[in-house]
Amino acid sequence: MPKNSFINLPFGSPKREGSIESQIFHLTNRVVRLTYHSRKHNKDYSSQRGLWKVLGKRKRLLVYLFRTNPISCKNLTNQLGIRVSKKN
């Protein structure tokens, strides 16, 4: 998998480095990498566990962002192509 195939959005600016949006963006990049890895190595259970942990953290951050700023959450999920859980 080439490194250029990761998602590139303008959340990497230095003053927005720790924002919820940039954290979700970086976790989504990790999910893409781990998903690709687990498709190639389907019996690597420790990587699967890591993927589940990253997905759980991203889900918690998305729920928090949805509660605090639903418009920003909707824009972010549209840009990243991910879904928000209906359970809040």
For residue 85, pLDDT beyond 90: no
Domains of the chain, by residue range, sit at 19-80
Q: What integer pLDDT is reported at residue 55 of this predicted model?
A: 97
What pTM value is reported for the model?
A: 0.80
Q: Residue 55: how many CB atoms within 10 A of its CB?
A: 16
For residue 3, pLDDT beyond 80: no
Q: Model confidence at 4, in pLDDT bands (50, 70, 90)?
A: very low
Homologous superfamily, domain 19-80: S15/NS1, RNA-binding (1.10.287.10)
pLDDT tens readout for residues 13-64: 556 778 999 999 999 999 999 999 999 999 999 999 999 999 999 999 999 9
